[in-house]
Structure 1
Amino acid sequence: MTDPNSRIARDLLARVDRNIVPEVKRNDEIVRNFAEALQRQFNTCNTLLEGAEALVPGKTLLQGATLMHGGSAYEGLCVTKKIDFDILIVLNKPYIFTNFEVVRDSSNFFCLKWKRGNGLSDGAGYLHAAELQSKLFDELIACINRIGSVTGIRKVDYKKGLAAINLYITTDRGTNISVDLAPQIAARKWGECPDLTSLYSLPGTLQDHVRNLECNGSPIYFFSSAVPGRHANQHRLCNISFSMLEKEFLRSNTDVRDMVRLVKLVGEACEWKKYGLKSFLIKRVAVKYCSDLQTKTLWDGFRALLAHIWKELETNTIDGFFVKDQPVYQQKPHKVAEFRAALAEALGWSAEDVRRKLERELSLY
């Protein structure tokens, strides 16, 4: 029998499903229409050659690239109507993982050293990641500008971001949708990157999923030129992402997913984003401690997840889990202390307290 606190928590998530999810699904259809139109542009055989002022015939960096959809909408994690959609652009040859050796840099980011293939190089045998991203961004903008009318879309604006082209779609209904277009180099084997957590240390369901992906030759994790801050060898540094793994894990573990949703929902009401909390941090902690969470009710799991985040922050960061010695959360110590105090306060709330907080602070009801 479901405990009273979990019944209240389920009711809160059911309200999100009734009031938020339908709008997200409408926006998802718009984004898919745009993605299909963008994909068709990748093989039009125009490229921006060095020194040229316009696109000229030739093989594009985007030729043969494929799209993968990510973000909260595809993980069943949306808790507000205003969410970002992520489109991963998986590059084709020669920018494929088997052409590179991965090297861990002293910055704790990664470099891709050419083993074979003919592509952009920094002269020392490493992929010139910054130049690749710059050229890919230019090609993406050219593709966007070539797209004609798309069903449901009134206007598309864009700008270059650190990791992606940030799109701003205005629908025919006047709704605004944000979409990140992120070029990626996909790795399709687990053990071919230094300092990865052992496959056997991952949750069992995630191990099985990784093995299935390896058998199918599907992407498992990704590298992109999206490194914050200033570092030596900045031009060759790559960041690593496990977003699609987390997506599939949460989709197949709906109880843990709902615990993440509830933390996100409370985080929205409490404005924990001012402490630097992002959705992927909650997901990362949930995956790390899933063996504990999977044994609990929704309400107890929600509280356990809050407690795990609180505990992780004892070291002023959150462990990257998938990669050794990879902090994924960086804030000034006083911000972390304030965040831990806010988490401790939330741990003292009953489910009825949470209900009143959400009804007061969020327009979901």
Structure 2
Amino acid sequence: MSDPDSIVRSIFGKLNREVVPKVKRNAQKMEEYKEKVREAIEKSDSGYSVQFVHCGSAFEGLAVKEETDFDIVMMLRNPFESSNFTPRRHPGGFFTLEWKSHLPVKFVCDSKGVVNASQLRRDLFTRIVNAIDAVKVPGAKISRKEQLVAVTVEMKYDSGEEISIDFVPLIVFRSWGQCPDLRPLNELPRCLRAYIDTLNKNKSPIMFFSLAVPNPEGNANYNQLFSASFGLLEKNFLNSEVKLRDMVRLVKLKAHQQDWKRLYKFQSFFAKRIAVKHCDELKTKGVWDGYRAILNYLDQEVEKGFIEDYFIKNQVAYTWKPQRAVEFREAIARALREDPSNILSKM
């Protein structure tokens, strides 16, 4: 086999020539639309101030197909900032946020000062939906749907392009030590620890709390529950480590070619989380060997039947049913037997 990393460069060259320009054109359309929605929200008497931040593969250098989803994180500003809350771990693995007692005004909370996540979500979703409905785009049909943690917009242009945008309101935390049950910094890989140290010093976003939790059945107080997320941290960290980002991109391309999302519920965060978790080791490898290492680690997770959250102790991020796990491991084994020319030939 020829030098594998040389073939990998050809793979990325083809993606960058054939896919990335189309994604960038869609990103420009998304940007224009997003700005109009932002202006509509600001003009409304919402009572909430938000900052829009891009997330998702189109802004991570991870796009492997033209039909790329765009994620717009809507970071809530004061008073919904981490310094005003005391987070507490819930027995179900989620969190509650309690306003600090010294604050003169406490929003959307019960008599004990615990934030009502469901009410806050409803209020924000109403503002987002009203803004979406107020914005018209010539030559495009726009539909929207309220999801668990996001309002999804589907834009279908008369020219044939289709763009999907998730507007995701989140509460931002800017310090690693604030949240209970976070993995201690000294247990993180060296390169990741150094990156988070810099975020801490700059008071940059580190983690977020989503305004809803999945499968609330059985949680008597689920209206108060938040789930923690680390997507922006992973995005920015991988953007700072180009070789790791390329390894993840290659895994995403293989998953796309083999339809792993439909067959085995593959999600891109599986590869991102593994790359972050093993970053010190992966940085010593070439892109092809790093890609294979990520697949091997993914196989170990699937063998266990679940992938751990990693950042939060005793938290499961995803589980597979036994039969699907067996089938997924077989697919990973087939991928590990292939060389990069197989991936290139299917592009």
What TM-score range do you get, normalising by the shorter chain? over 0.9
1:316 corresponds to 2:316: no
Residue 161 of structure 2 aligns with an amino acid whose one-letter code is T
8 Å CA contact 2:181–2:313 kept in 1: the answer is yes
1:244 match: secondary structure: helix
Query: 289-298 or 202-211: which moved more?
Result: 202-211
Residue 60 of structure 2 aligns with an amino acid whose one-letter code is E
Query: 343-352 or 278-287: which moved more?
Result: 343-352
Gaps (5+ residues) in structure 2?
Answer: none
Query: 221-230 or 66-75: which moved more?
Result: 221-230
Gaps (5+ residues) in structure 1?
Answer: 47-59
Q: Percent identity over the alignment? A: 37
Cα distance 1:153–1:106, how it changes in 2: closer, same or farther (>3 A)? farther
1:209 corresponds to 2:198: no
8 Å CA contact 1:153–1:169 kept in 2: the answer is no
Deviation, structure 1 residue 61:
3.9
2:338 aligned to 346, 349, 360, which one?
Answer: 349
Query: What TM-score do you get using the length of structure 1 for normalisation?
Result: 0.88
Q: How does 1:105-120 map to 2 (within 5 A)?
A: 105-115=90-100, 116=103, 117-120=105-108
Write the distance in 2 (CA, Å) between the matches of 1:31 and 1:18: 21
1:19 corresponds to 2:22: no
Indicate the residue corresponding to 1:56 in structure 2. Answer: none
Residue 20 of structure 1 aligns with an amino acid whose one-letter code is V
Structure 1 ranges of 4+ moved more than 4 A: none
1:285 corresponds to 2:274: yes
Indicate the residue corresponding to 2:86 in structure 1. Answer: 101
1:260 corresponds to 2:245: no
8 Å CA contact 2:302–2:320 kept in 1: the answer is no
1:40 corresponds to 2:39: yes
8 Å CA contact 2:192–2:279 kept in 1: the answer is no
Residue 301 of structure 2 aligns with an amino acid whose one-letter code is E
1:271 corresponds to 2:288: no
Deviation, structure 1 residue 280:
1.1
Q: How does 1:110-259 map to 2 (within 5 A)?
A: 110-115=95-100, 116=103, 117-149=105-137, 154-171=140-157, 173-229=159-215, 230-232=217-219, 233-259=221-247
Q: How does 1:324-343 map to 2 (within 5 A)?
A: 324-343=313-332
Count of paired positions: 341
Residue 160 of structure 2 aligns with an amino acid whose one-letter code is G
1:42 match: secondary structure: helix
2:223 match: secondary structure: helix
1:86 corresponds to 2:85: no
Cα distance 1:17–1:173, how it changes in 2: closer, same or farther (>3 A)? same
Residue 226 of structure 1 aligns with an amino acid whose one-letter code is A
Query: What TM-score do you get using the length of structure 2 for normalisation?
Result: 0.93
1:318 match: secondary structure: strand
8 Å CA contact 2:205–2:233 kept in 1: the answer is no
Deviation, structure 1 residue 124:
4.1
